Amino acid sequence: MNIQHQKTKQILDLFERISAIPRCSKHEEKIGAFLLDWAKKNGLQSKQDKIGNVLIRVPASPGYEKSAIVVIQGHMDMVCEKTADSPHDFSKDPIRFVFDGEWLMADHTTLGADNGIALAMAMVLALDKEAAHPPLELLFTVDEETGLTGANALDGDFIEGKILLNVDSEDEGVFTVGCAGGRDTRISLAVHYEDAPEGFVMARLKAGGMNGGHSGVNINDERANAIRVLVRALMQVRRETDVRLADISGGTAHNAIPRDAWADIFIPRDSFKDIERIVSEQEGMFRAEFKKTDPNLKVGVELQLETMGKRPLNTADSGRILDLLLALPHGVAAMSAEIKGLVETSNNEASVRITNSKLEIVTSQRSSVMSRLHALTWRIEAIARLAGADAVSGNGYPAWQPNLQSPLLARCKDVYRKLFGKEPLVEVIHAGLECGIIGDKKEGMDMISFGPTLKNPHAPDEKIHVGSIGKVWDFMVAMLKSMK
């Protein structure tokens, strides 16, 4: 691809180096070491806290020594998702870039531009002798994607600045000034096995080919959830023939809408043809339901020649699991009454699997109204208890309440208007950002979030618009220059 914007090329070159380093959530040791080593080689002060967050200090440009410190913030980790046929090993393989017209994506995996592009942009800025700026603190946090762990563990004294530019939004020309809070619930149910009845065989029912996506950004797109598609198909099979669940698995991350799921079931051998017919009919129904959002949706069943040592669950547990998975809410629970088009409250039925004779389910709730976040969480816990399961919910993270009178917002809007000749959009989003947590820890923090245009984060078709990178760079440089 012919990239005209000089800084965009530098940023993408550095982003490619970053993308060669394993950095799945909770595994940021190598990227943290890379950042510290990079700072040392370039004569910049740096430090790392106990949780793994990294801070790099960049001296002010001449004439900006007395300006207020600006924190530029992003997170080190990425959601590690890949297509079912990808051999990629996130623990060692570099992300492979693929250019598609004006877009950059990866080879059958998540790209990790969420949020590796923020690291690259901040690092290029730190070494740019032509960019005039106040003293900078580059704050790179860990484990944002699985619960904002790095931000939650951050000591307010770790940073000095009280102006924060978060580079983790996903639409160029849009300034984010508020976000939803979130909370996860883990449900556990002991299961019991028995011998398969005479004449029963094992089959695998699979649901896949769905687009998935970010459980905050895409939850209102009405995309198919593979777990729910699978369970609905199983419920129909169960209505027409005897079926015993043996195993079930779907979903990989709390903040990603599940794209694939499967279940191993024991069925009467002579009913397999009927089950094939039922599943085929179900696939046709689902493809009609989700023809706009998930045109590649597939549901199928195949006999397993080997049972792999598996036994069926007893009839009661098989039914209880399907009932529980069907009863749990998924999708938009409420729209905002104050901001048109904003999802206020939602839930993602994120993952399910059976491990060590226990069914494990993870749900992820979001809301910009904390009382409704708690109410939805309590509802999920109540459904779990009614099924005889245990439910444990985390403390979660707070919503970021917008301040439309923010001096930083006014400055950003003015700079953007002068630079591009048009007004930026200002929005509150349903996804979670670290700003709310950092603002709680640093009294008086003025914050805004922006970033290049990114599509389908948390899914293997994640992609970034290359042209938007240069526009965000130009805005950020102009913004910092204005803060003398």
Distance between CA atoms of residues 310 and 121, nearest Å: 50
- As annotated, the residues of the chain forming the CATH 3.30.70.360 domain(s) are 183-393
The model's pTM: 0.82
Q: Which residues contact 215 (CB under 8 A, 6 or more apart)?
A: 254, 255, 256, 257, 346, 348, 350, 364, 366, 458
Q: Let me know: does 58 contact 138? Beta carbons within 8 Å.
A: yes
The pLDDT of residue 458 is: 87
DSSP letters spanning 54-119: EEEEEPPPTT-TTSPPEEEEEES-B---B-TT----TTTPPPPEEEETTEEEESSB---HHHHHHH
Residue 36 to residues 6, 30, 90, Cα–Cα distance (Å): 26, 10, 22
- As annotated, the residues of the chain forming the CATH 3.40.630.10 domain(s) are 6-180+399-481
The pLDDT of residue 244 is: 96
Distance between CA atoms of residues 226 and 82, nearest Å: 15
Cis peptide before 225 (omega within 30 of 0): no
The pLDDT of residue 327 is: 98
The DSSP letter of residue 193 is B
CATH match for 183-393 among 1.20.1290.10, 3.10.180.10, 3.30.2130.30, 3.30.70.360: 3.30.70.360
Distance between CA atoms of residues 348 and 364, nearest Å: 5
The pLDDT of residue 389 is: 98
What pairs with residue 483 in β-bridges? none
The pLDDT of residue 395 is: 84
Q: Let me know: does 186 contact 95? Beta carbons within 8 Å.
A: no
Annotation: CATH topology of 6-180+399-481? Aminopeptidase (3.40.630)
Distance between CA atoms of residues 103 and 468, nearest Å: 10
Residue (of 396, 417, 410) closest to 163 by Cα position = 410
Q: Which positions are annotated as active-site residues?
A: 77, 144
The pLDDT of residue 305 is: 84
Give pLDDT tens digits along the chain (484 positions). 778 898 999 999 999 999 999 999 999 999 999 999 999 999 999 999 999 999 999 999 999 999 999 999 999 999 999 998 999 999 999 999 999 999 999 999 999 999 999 999 999 999 999 999 999 999 999 999 987 999 999 999 999 999 999 999 999 999 999 999 999 999 999 999 999 999 999 999 999 999 999 999 899 999 999 999 999 999 999 999 999 999 999 998 898 999 999 999 999 999 999 999 999 999 999 999 999 999 999 999 999 988 989 999 999 999 999 999 999 999 999 999 988 899 999 999 999 999 999 999 999 999 999 999 999 999 999 999 999 999 999 988 889 989 999 999 999 999 999 999 999 999 999 988 999 899 989 989 999 999 999 999 988 999 999 999 999 999 999 999 999 9
The DSSP letter of residue 158 is G
- 423: phi then psi, degrees, rounded to nearest 5: -80, 135
The pLDDT of residue 6 is: 87
